[in-house]
Chains A and B, each alone.
Chain A
Amino acid sequence: MLTFSEIILALFLLANLALAGSGRLTHAIRLVAAQGIAVGALPLLLWDWQSAGIPECRLFIIAAVNALVKGVAMPMLLGYAVRKINTKRELEPIISFTLSRLIVFAMIIGSFAIAARLHIHETVASELAVPVAFTTMGTGLLLIAARKKAVTQVLGFLVLENGISVFGSGLLIEHGIIVELGILLDIFALAFILGITIFQIKRTFSSTDTDKLNNLGDTHLMHPQRHHHRTHA
């Protein structure tokens, strides 16, 4: 039987596909915001209302704070950053949008194949949760690796975190309210610091393409003739 939670999880997969093919940053931020709200609501949707009765108050608090931070606060922060630094789209992705879509598609198939072999049906709240979590984590890593704009990389990180949250609520892992809020605070603070750093990168490098951030590192040791490019502070 198709339940409401399964529809939401299927929409997660669609959001991943859309994210992989989206070049407009505001569009991608909206998709991540939608994912964030769904992540917040998921523990309530997966709750067994008929037999377990009404859940404890802290489940509602965690869901609300999750949805607020992941679905509203962080997207607003990133939207502000995008407007401020005046970057509208991802122009030259390292892996093209079409190919990224295909990769996510392959990841969906792969995740279902892996999840089917894990024999987790007895302990899991919804059979869809684990493959969806794997795909979402993969999409996040893909966005970080295959895109140049700093904002898209931050978005990729948030998608990765969403995938981990889906995994956690799918397997009904309960951390307790302090840990949940701690994890959320960490992620929010990280997005905040990354946002500030994007401003500084824009001011210092006059671009937010992260392939400009490649002066450090030791590749020059392999190419001694290029050594003079390096500036020592």
Chain B
Amino acid sequence: METNLKHLLLVLTPVLFLLNLVHSFFYLPHSDRTEGSHHIPHWLYYTLMTAFFGAMMFALTASSLPLMWVAVELTTLVSAPLIAYRREKGSLEAMWKYLLICSIGISLALFGTMLVLHAETTRSVRWYMAGFAFILAGYGTKTGLAPFHSWLPDAHSEAPSPVSALLSGALLNCSLFAIVRFREIMPPEANHFCDTAMIALGLLSVATAAVFMVRQTDFKRLLAYSSVEHMGLAIIFYAILCMTPANVPHMEFLAIAFLVHIASHSLIKTALFAIAGNLLLAFRTRAISVVHGLQVSMKGHSWLWLAGILLICGMPPSPLFFTEYALVMAASLPVASGLLIFLFIVFAAMMKAALSMTMGKPLAMPEKLPKALGAMPACAITLLFTAIIMMLFA
């Protein structure tokens, strides 16, 4: 599993990086025009963006576990100034929280790494379990698992949209990969503990996301909570994969579904953050209640937004429908029923927001956007379906 996930992320991360880099070329100049020019210089933005990409690739390819820790911490350091691209109260607050919460989390992961390294010399199961608990809390903070997710909605909503997209689509996966890497070296006696802990955290994440999405007033935060939800689903998925014995016939199908889930979430979320960023530029607000009647005022974006939200909720042509179906079928009854209830709440909350934004009479007329800004979300969704078709027929 570890190598498969690694290969997937090694392809996915550069694709997302390139998409967002190209999008930034069009997004930043327009954003500076409408939101004021008090921001970090562009050369620094692009340098940090590239360094962020480099750090993520380093985290995926690091040869040893402590070296991976160094790389994951590096991703926090280089992405933090990107969140505060615009020097405002909100973005500074988000950056401070991101730096502090993630660094504390990552420190606990370093402690967990040491416990696991020590366990490898003593071969003691209790040390392995203690180590994995700290790893889950530490890298789980960075993955955005509840209850350690509090930095995530703030950072995702305050960052410029290409950065939010990269954080959500690429960074969360990289720290999920760190958890997977540790899970693979656990001794069989610790299996039950590790998998139960992962399922518990995953369910809590999906539940938290559902609760905070219901009355959400901010459309970028809505997307951020959707990332919390999908990371929760991914970790439950992985835990169930670990619990399924290798000789079960549908094992291979489950393993592929897990990878498809991660890839689809990243691509759809990238598209959605790009659309959300465009809406923010056009209406100068992130309030769901102000953006109204997109069908009349911004027809193209309206269709993209509706399509993206339907895809991320797992409406049937979406690959997420099939992966979530596989997940619910493989899970035990209590977990599956809990998941279904929360997924339904999430679906209702997201559709409510999406419909109120797209339908009705416009309250405020949007500003005109450069045409190129709509290209990236369309590209990401096209890419998703090309990838799916390629997987089905290749």
Residues of B within 8 A of A167 (CB): 111, 114
Question: Which residue on chain B has the smallest CB distance to residue A191?
Answer: B103
Question: Chain A nearest CB: distance from B167 CB in Å?
Answer: 15
Known contacts A123-B121, A190-B73, A217-B154; A161/B96 CB under 8 A: no
B70 and A183 contacting across the interface, CB-CB below 8 Å: yes
Q: How large is the interface on A (under 10, 10 to 19, 20 to 34, 35 or more residues)?
A: 35 or more
Residues facing B in A200-233 (CB within 8 A) are 200-201, 204-205, 210, 213-218, 220-221, 224, 227, 230, 232-233
Q: Which residue from A160, A186, A230 sits with its C-beta under 8 Å from B73? A: A186
In the complex, which residues of chain B have a beta carbon less than 8 angstroms from the beta carbon of A123? 118, 121-122
Mask of B54-75 contacts with A, CB within 8 angstroms, 1/0: 0000000000101101100110
Minimal beta-carbon separation of A153 from chain B (angstroms): 6
B81 lies within 8 A of chain A by Cβ: yes
| A233: chain B residues within 8 A (beta carbon) | 35, 88, 90, 158, 285-286
Chain B positions within 8 Å of A168 at CB level: 114
**Residues in A whose Cβ lies below 8 Å from that of B88:** 204, 233
Nearest Cβ in chain B — how far from A103, in angstroms? 18
Residues 174-203 of chain A, each 1 if its beta carbon lies under 8 Å from chain B, else 0: 010011001101100110011001001100
Query: B212–A218 contact, CB under 8 A?
Result: yes
Which residue of B74, B93, B95, B216 has the most chain A CB atoms within 10 A of its CB atom? B93
Q: Which residues of A contact B221 (CB under 8 A)?
A: 218
Q: Which residues on the A side are within 8 Å of B107 (C-beta)?
A: 157, 160-161, 164
B interface residues, tally (CB under 8 Å)? 50
Which residue of B is nearest A231, CB measured? B90
- Are A190 and B103 in touch, CB under 8 angstroms? yes
Question: Once the chains are docked, how many angstroms separate the CA of A178 from the CA of B58?
Answer: 14
A186 touches B74 (CB 8 A): yes
The answer, yes or no, to whether A63 is at the interface (CB within 8 Å) is no
CB within 8 A of B66: which of A179, A189, A213? A179
Q: Give B14-44 as 1s and 0s: 1 = Cβ < 8 Å from A's Cβ atoms.
A: 0000000000000000000001000000000
Contact at A150–B96, with CB atoms within 8 Å? Answer: yes
Q: CB < 8 Å: which of B64, B69, B93 contacts A213?
A: B93
- Min CB distance B80 to A, Å, is 6
Q: Which residue of A lies closest to B220 (CB)?
A: A233
Mask, B78-99, CB within 8 Å of A = 1, is: 0011001001111011111101
Given contacts A164-B110, A190-B73, contact A232 B285 (CB under 8 A): yes
Contacts of A210 in B (CB 8 A): 96
A44 within 8 A of B: no
A145: nearest residue on chain B (CB-CB)?
B104
* A38: min CB distance to chain B, Å: 19
On whether the beta carbons of B104 and A157 are closer than 8 Å, the reply is yes
Asked whether B215 is an interface residue with its Cβ less than 8 Å from the other chain, the reply is yes
The reply to whether B87 and A204 form a contact with Cβ atoms under 8 Å apart is yes
What B residues does A179 contact at CB under 8 A? 64, 66-67, 70
Query: Which residue of the partner chain, among A137, A178, A204, contacts B67 with CB atoms under 8 Å?
Result: A178
Contacts of A178 in B (CB 8 A): 67
* Contact yes or no, A171 B97, CB < 8 A: no
Q: How far is the CA of A182 from the CA of B72 in the complex (A)?
A: 11
Separation of A22 and B96 alpha carbons in the complex (Å):
24
A113 at the interface (CB under 8 A from B): no
Question: Which residues of chain A come closer than 8 Å to B118, judged between CB atoms?
Answer: 123, 171, 173
B270 at the interface (CB under 8 A from A): no
Q: Is the CB of B100 within 8 A of A144?
A: yes
Q: List B contacts of A186 (CB < 8 A).
A: 70, 73-74, 77
List B contacts of A215 (CB < 8 A): 89-90, 93
CA distance A179 to B65 in the complex (A): 10
Cα-based distance from A194 to B84 in the complex (angstroms): 12
* CB <8 Å contact, A164 and B99: no
Interface centre among B81, B88, B99 (most CB of A within 10 A): B99
Q: Contacts A173-B118, A190-B99 given; indicate if A216 touches B93 (C-beta within 8 A).
A: yes
Query: Which of B70, B76, B216, B290 gathers most chain A CB within 10 Å?
Result: B70
Chain A to chain B: the 4 pairs with minimum beta-carbon distance, closest first? A182-B70, A186-B73, A213-B93, A216-B154
7 CB < 8 A contacts A-B:
A157-B104, A183-B70, A190-B76, A194-B99, A213-B92, A221-B217, A232-B218
Q: A144-B104, A217-B153 are in contact. List 8 more A-B contacts (CB 8 A).
A: A160-B107, A179-B66, A197-B95, A213-B92, A216-B94, A216-B154, A218-B153, A221-B215
